[in-house]
Amino acid sequence: MDPKGTMRTLITLTLMLTLVNYVETMVIPALPKIEDQFSTTATTVAWVTSAYLIVGAIASPLFGKLGDRYGKKKVYLLSIGFYSLAVLLAGFSTNIYFLIFARAIQGLGYATFPLAIAIITDLFPKERVAWAQGILSATLAAGPALGLLVGSYIVQDLGWPYAFHTAFILSIILVIVSAKYIVEIPQKTKEKIDYLGATFLMLTVVPLLVYLSNGPNVGWTSTSQFLLIVISIIAFPIFLWVEGRTNEPLMRLDLFRIRNIMVANIAGLISGAGMFLMFTGLVYYLQLPKPYGLGLSIIESGLLMAPVALVMMIVGPIVGRLINNIGPKPLLMIGSIISIVGYLLLDTFRYSIYEVVVDVMITAVGLVNIMIPLVNMVAVSLPEEQRGIGIGMNTLIRTIGSSIGPVISTVFMDTYTTWIIYDFNNQIVPVAQVPSYSAFHYMYTAAVGIMFLNLIVALFTRNYVIKAGQHA
C-alpha cells in the first residue's frame, strides 16, 4: 500500500469527520432562533437534532453492510453526497418541517464515522490502526468544539441559515477532495443485502429512539409512546429470528459470541449513556443563573469546552499507540476509573469555571481511554467481510446509549427542582422552577455507578498486543 495514499486518506477522512461533527454541534446554539423564526414549540424544534440522530443510527449498520458489499469508498462518497445536499437544503428551509426533513437526510452522513474507521482498518498495517483510529476519534471532540465556538458567532451575527451555507461550501470541497484522494477499498463480500433483516432492525431501533427522544417532552406513558415501545419490543425478537434463519444475514449473530465484540458493544452502550448523561446535565448547569448554576451564555459555554476538546485531540492518538503496547483491557479499566474520578469531582467541585474545566478535562481523558479501545476491539476482532457492518452496529449500539444518557439526566432534573426567588420590595416572589443541587448530585452519582459497571464489563476483555508487521 502506498504510504502517501494512506496518509492522504487519513487526513481527508479526518477533515470530513471534523466537519460533520462541527455541523451537528453548531445546530445547538441555533435552536432557540429557529423556534422563534418558525413560531413553533420546543418539542417540535427538538426534532431538528432527533431526526438526524435517528436516521444516522440506522444508517450506520446499513451503510456499513453496503460498504462491505459494494466498496467502502463508493458508499462513503454516497453518504457524504447525500449529507452535503441535505446541508444545502437545510440552509434554505422555509418552514420547520422542511428543516426537519433536511436534517433527517443529513443523518445519512452519520455513517461516515464507521465507514471511515473501516477504511483505515483495511488500509493501515495492524500496528498503526489504533493510532489512526485515535486521530479519527479526536474529531468527536474537535468538531463539537468548533461547532459551539464558530457556530455560536455565525448564528448570532449572520443568522442560523448561514451556518448551513458555510458548511455546505466546505462539504462540497471535501467531497471533491475525498473522491480524488481516498484510496479505493474493494468489496469484501458478495453477499446480497438482507433487506428483510434491515426492515426489522429499523422497526426495532427507530421506535425506540423516538420513544427516548420524545419522552422528556411528551411523557413516557401516553398512547403514542406506548405504541412506539411495543413496536420496538415486538420487532426485536423477529429481527433475531430472521437473522438466525437467513443464509446471508445483515450481520452474523454468531459474531457477538466473540468475547471482545460482546464486551465492546455492552461497554459502548454503558459508556455512551454515562458520557451523554454528563454532557446533558453540564449544559444545563453552565447556563443556569447563579447560584443555581454558573450563569454562562451559550458562547461562554462553548469557550469553556475548548480546552476539553484540545485534551481529547492530544490524548486520542497517544491512546491509539498505547493499545499496541499494553492492549485494550488496561486502557478500558484505566479509562473507567479516571471517568469515575472525574464524575466525583464534578459532584464535589463545580462552583467556578476553573473547577468545571479541570473536572471535565479529567473526565474527557477517561472517556478517550474508553472510546478508542472499544472501536479498535471491534475493528480488529471482525473478519474483513463483516468489518463495515460490525463497526456500524457498534455505532448504532453506542447511539442508543447516547440517547439513554439525556433521559436519565432529564428524569433527575424534573424530579429534583427548586425555585428561582427574587426579592421585590421585601416581598419574596418565586420566578421560575429549575433543577436543584440534588438533581446534579444524583445525576453524577448515577454516572459514577454507570462507569463502575463499565469497569466490571472491561474486566471480561480478552487482551491482545499488536506487534509490528501484522496487518489488519
Report pLDDT digits (tens) over 450-472: 999 999 999 999 999 876 555 44
DSSP 261-283: HHHHHHHHHHHHHHHHHHHHHHH
* Sign of the torsion angle spanned by Cα atoms 434, 436, 440, 443: negative
Examine residue 314 and state whether it is found in any structural domain, yes or no. Answer: yes
Average pLDDT over residues 387-394: 85
Average pLDDT estimate for 43-63: 84
In a shared domain, residues 244 and 262: no
Domain termination residue (choose one: 206, 225, 249) = 249
Is the model's pLDDT at 188 over the cut of 70? no
CA separation for the pair 369, 315 (Å, rounded): 8
Q: Is residue 471 part of a domain?
A: no
Residues 294 and 215 in one domain: no
State what percent of residues in the chain have pLDDT above 70: 94
Residues 292, 145 within the same domain: yes
Whether residues 88 and 207 fall in one domain = no
Query: Are residues 270 and 377 located together in one domain of the fold?
Result: yes
pLDDT confidence of residue 336: 96
148, 219: one domain: no
CATH code for position 92:
1.20.1250.20
Checking if the pLDDT of 423 tops 70, the result is no
pLDDT exceeds cutoff 70 at 40: yes
Instruction: Determine, yes or no, domain membership for 472.
Output: no
Place of cell 420566578: 431
470 lies in some domain? no
Considering the domain architecture, whether residues 61 and 78 belong to the same structural domain is answered as yes
Residue 12 maps to a domain:
yes
Say if 292 falls within a structural domain. yes
- Note the pLDDT of residue 174: 92
Q: What pLDDT is attached to residue 454?
A: 96
**Does residue 47 sit within a domain?**
yes
Residues 186 and 209 in one domain: no
Stated pTM of the model? 0.84
pLDDT of res. 85:
94
- Rounded to 10 degrees, the C-alpha dihedral 317/318/321/323 comes to -100
- At 137, phi and psi to the nearest 5? -65, -30
- Residue 472 confidence (pLDDT): 46
Point out the domain boundary residue: 221, 249, 277. 249
Asked whether residue 224 falls in the same domain as residue 243, the answer is yes
**169-183, 385-399, 434-448: which range is least confident on average?**
385-399
Find, among 23, 68, 67, the residue nearest to 49 by Cα: 23
- Report CA-CA distances (Å) from 24 to 103, 148, 160, 417, 444: 10, 10, 13, 30, 25
Of 234, 249, 264, the residue that ends a domain is 249
Inside any domain, residue 222:
yes
Q: How confident is the model at residue 187 (pLDDT cuts 50, 70, 90)?
A: low
**HSE-up of residue 91 (Cα within 13 Å, Cβ side):** 20
- How many structural domains comprise the chain? 2
pLDDT (average), residues 392-419:
85
Q: How far is 458 from 334, CA to CA, in rounded Å?
A: 10
Task: List the one residue out of 399, 254, 268, 260 whose CA is nearest residue 336.
Answer: 268
Predicted local confidence at residue 369, as pLDDT? 93
Do 371 and 451 fall into the same domain? Answer: yes
150 and 213 in a single domain? The answer is no
What is the span of the domain harbouring residue 221?
194-249
- Do residues 339 and 454 both lie within one domain? yes
pLDDT for the residue 283: 77
Residues 122, 379: Cα–Cα separation, whole Å:
9
